[in-house]
Amino acid sequence: MTVGSDRLLRRAVRAGGGWTVLLGVTALLGAAAELLLPAALGRAVDAALDGSPGWWPAAACALVAVLAGTDTLGDLAAGTGTARATARLRHQLLRHVFALDPRTAGRHPVGDLVARLVGQAADAGQAGSTVVYGLVAVLPPVGSLVALTLIEPLLGITFVAGLVLLTVLMRAFVTDASAAMTGYQRTQGLIAGRLHEAVAGHRTVAAAGTVPAEIDRILVPLPLLRGHGRRSWQTLARAAGRNAAVAPLLSLAVVAVGGWSVAAGWLTPGQLVAAVQYAALGTGLGAVTATLNRLVRTRAGAGRIAEVLAQPTRTYGPARVPATGAGTLTFDAVTVRAPDGRTVLHRVDLHLPGGRALAVVGASGAGKSTFAAVAGRLRDPDEGEVRLDGVPLHRLSHDELRRSVGYGFERPVLVGDTVADVIDLGVPAGAADDPGRRLGRVRRSARAAAVDGFAERLPDGYRTALADAPMSGGEAQRLGLARALHGGRLLVLDDATSSVDTATEYRIARAVAEHGDGRTRVIVTHRATTAAAADLVAWLDDGRLRALASHARLWTDPAYRAVFQPAGEPAGRPG
C-alpha cells in the first residue's frame, strides 16, 4: 500500500495546480530572505562600528518586509491549494466507492468511509503544501552550514557535526510517528463505523433499553485509540526534547568557536553576529519537526484513501439490449455465495417471458433479496449467467443497464433536493426535457406508486424541499417505488410495498401493471395477495428454486401455504 499512497500523494500535489507552484515560489523567496538577513545585519553592525555610512540597515529592513509578504502570500496559496486537492480526492473517493461492487463496498462500514472522506482526505490534501514546506525546511540548516563555512571553515565543521546527530534523531521520529498515526486513523474509522450503526438503529436500541451497552460497544476500541494517540504525542515530545537538548549545545559550540575566532582576529564583530544568527537559524528545527509530523499525517491519510482506491471497480461492456426486446429474463445455473462461503443461491435456472410478473417467495433466508439483486445486476453471480433479452447483464453498458432496469426497495434512500427530484432521479441521460414535460412524467410515476395524494398535499407540491416533507415509512417506500418506475425493460421490487396497507398495495399492483408498458416485473413479497396477482411464482427454499408455477397451482402444497403464515398459525385460503 506504500506504493499506492505515494502515487496518491503525487496526484494530490498536482491537484493543487498553480497554487502549489505559487507556494513553492513564495516559500523559496522567503527562505532566501531569511538566509540573507543575518548577513545583512552583520554588515550593518560592522558599518555602525566603523562609523561609515551604508545601505545595509535599509537592506535588512527590506528583507524583513519580504519575509512578511511571503508569509502572507504563502498562507493564501497553501490554503487554496489544499482545498482544491482535498476536493479532488473526495470526489475521486466518492466516485470509486459508488463504482465498487456492492459486496466490496459493504466491507467498509459507512462510518469508516465517512472518516476517510472527511478526515483522511483532508490530511492527504495537504500533500502539496507539506512537500513544499518539507523541501524549504531543509534550506535553513543547509544554508546556515554554507554561510558559516564561508565566514569561517572551523564554524562549518563544528556545525555539521551537530546536524548529523539531529538528522539521525529526526529519522527515528518519522519511523515511530508513522506507525502510531496509521494505527490512530484505523481505530478512529472503527469507532466511526460503530457509531453510524448505532445511530441508524437508534429506535431499536432505545426500545430494547440497551443504550449503556451500545455505548460500551462503540467505545471498546477507545483504549486502543488512546494508546495510539499517546504514542504519537510521546514520539513528538521525544523529538522536541532531543532537539531542545542538542540545538542549544550546538549553538553554544558555534558561539564559542566564533568568539575565539574574533579574539584571534579572524572574524569581525559583525561576522560573529551573523554566525550566531546562522547557528540559531540552522538549529531551530522546530519547523522541521512540525513539517515531518504533517508529512506523517499526510502519508497515513493517503494510505487510508489508497486502500479503497486499490479495490477494483465493477466493469461494464459496450452492449445494448435489442430494440425489439420485451424484457425476457433468464437465469442460467446462477450460483451466489456469501463472503463466508455459504451458498445463498444454488444453480438457479429460470426463464421469464417478457412482460410477465414474477413473484419471488420463500421463508426468511431463502435467498429472495439475493435473487432480486442478481436479476438487475446489483450483484454479480459467482457462477452462471443472467441475461436480459438474450444479452448477459455484465456485457451491458452502465447507461444501458440503468435505462433498462428499475429497482424499488423496502427501505429506499431518497436522494434529491425536492420531491420531484427524488422521483425523477432514475430518468435516463438525455430525457431531462422542459419543466412541463418533466412534471407530467413525475406525476404519472407518483400516481402509479400511489404517492400522488401525499405529494400534492405538500405546501409546494412536487417542488417541496425534501427536508420540508415529513413522511411515514410507507410514503418514503412509495416515493422510492415511483423512482423505480423509470426502468424501461425490467422492474425489480424487493419487498417494496411492505410498509403499505393492503388496499394501497392492491392499487399499486394494478397501477404498476397498467403503467409498465409491458415491462417484466420481479416482485419479492411475503403476501399471498401479491403472489396471487403475479403470472408466475418462484418459490425459493434454502437457496434453491423449489418450484416455478402459478400461485393457484402451488397453493395446493401445505409447505407453500406455510410460507405466508406466521409460525403456529394454520394456513388459510389464498387471498
CA atoms of 29 and 249, how far apart (whole Å):
30
The better pLDDT of the pair 386, 289 is held by 386
Residue 516 pLDDT > 80: no
pLDDT of residue 567: 45
Q: Give the residue-averaged pLDDT of 428-434.
A: 54
CA atoms of 519 and 513, how far apart (whole Å):
8
* pTM as predicted: 0.71
For the chain, the domains span 2-309, 329-563
The better pLDDT of the pair 259, 569 is held by 259
The better pLDDT of the pair 501, 368 is held by 368
Residue 435 pLDDT > 80: no
Residue with cell 407453500: 560
Q: How many CB atoms lie within 10 A of CB 428?
A: 14
- Angle between helical axes of 435-448 and 473-484 (0-180°, round to 10): 120
Write the burial class of residue 152 (CB in 10 Å: 0-12 exposed, 13-18 middle, 19+ buried): buried
CA atoms of 303 and 95, how far apart (whole Å):
18
Residues contacting 483, CB < 8 A, separation 6+: 406, 408, 412, 422, 423, 424, 425, 426, 445
- What secondary structure does DSSP assign to 16-74, as a single string? TTHHHHHHHHHHHHHHHHHHHHHHHHHHHHHHHHHT---SHHHHHHHHHHHHHHHHHHH
Q: Give the residue-averaged pLDDT of 410-425.
A: 83
Using alpha carbons, list the distances in angstroms from residue 126 to 13, 20, 228, 297, 306: 8, 10, 22, 9, 15
pLDDT of residue 276: 79
pLDDT of residue 241: 67
344 sits in which H/E element: strand 343-352
Residue 572 pLDDT > 60: no
CA atoms of 275 and 145, how far apart (whole Å):
10
* Contact present, 327 and 376 (Cβ < 8 Å): no
Using alpha carbons, list the distances in angstroms from residue 14 to 6, 267, 496: 13, 47, 46
Given the DSSP bridges, would you call strands 329-337 and 391-392 parallel, antiparallel or unpaired? unpaired
Using alpha carbons, list the distances in angstroms from residue 356 to 90, 331, 353, 464: 43, 15, 6, 36
The better pLDDT of the pair 15, 259 is held by 15
Residue 443 pLDDT > 80: yes
Residue from 320, 414, 334, 424 nearest 373 by CA: 334
Residue 573 pLDDT > 70: no
Q: What is the largest CA-CA distance in the chain?
A: 118
pLDDT of residue 452: 85
Q: Give the residue-averaged pLDDT of 175-184.
A: 72
Tell me the range of 87-101, 186-200, 234-248, 288-302 where mean pLDDT is highest. 87-101
pLDDT of residue 172: 62
pLDDT of residue 383: 93
Residue 14 pLDDT > 60: yes
Residue 569 pLDDT > 50: no
pLDDT of residue 175: 65
Q: Could you tell me what percent of the chain has a pLDDT over 70? A: 84
Note the pLDDT tens digit of each residue in 56-96. 888 888 988 998 999 999 999 999 999 999 999 999 999 99
Q: Give the residue-averaged pLDDT of 130-159.
A: 81
Q: Could you tell me what percent of the chain has a pLDDT over 90? A: 21
Note the pLDDT tens digit of each residue in 466-504. 888 888 877 888 888 888 877 778 989 887 666 666 666
pLDDT of residue 3: 58
Residue from 275, 273, 278 nearest 49 by CA: 273
The better pLDDT of the pair 445, 92 is held by 92
pLDDT of residue 242: 64
* Contact present, 139 and 35 (Cβ < 8 Å): yes
Residue 335 pLDDT > 80: yes
pLDDT of residue 181: 73
DSSP-derived secondary structure letter, 501: -
- Which stretch of 11-15, 26-30, 49-53, 409-413 has the lowest confidence by average pLDDT? 49-53
Note the pLDDT tens digit of each residue in 212-233. 888 888 888 888 888 888 887 7
CA atoms of 220 and 94, how far apart (whole Å):
29
Q: Give the residue-averaged pLDDT of 165-186.
A: 69
The one-letter amino acid code at 459 reads P
* Contact present, 308 and 93 (Cβ < 8 Å): yes
Residue 574 pLDDT > 50: no
* Contact present, 177 and 292 (Cβ < 8 Å): yes
Q: Give the residue-averaged pLDDT of 396-413.
A: 85
For 2-309, CATH gives 1.20.1560.10
Q: Where are the beta strands (DSSP E) in 207-247?
A: none
- Angle between helical axes of 127-151 and 269-283 (0-180°, round to 10): 150
* Contact present, 536 and 361 (Cβ < 8 Å): no
Q: How confident is the model at residue 374 (pLDDT cuts 50, 70, 90)?
A: very high
CATH class (in words) of the domain with range 329-563? alpha beta
Residue 333 pLDDT > 80: yes
Given the DSSP bridges, would you call strands 329-337 and 383-388 parallel, antiparallel or unpaired? antiparallel
- Which stretch of 214-228, 418-432, 527-541 has the lowest confidence by average pLDDT? 418-432
The one-letter amino acid code at 271 reads Q
Q: Give φ, ψ of 358 to 5 degrees.
A: -115, 120
Residue with cell 441475461: 387
pLDDT of residue 548: 93
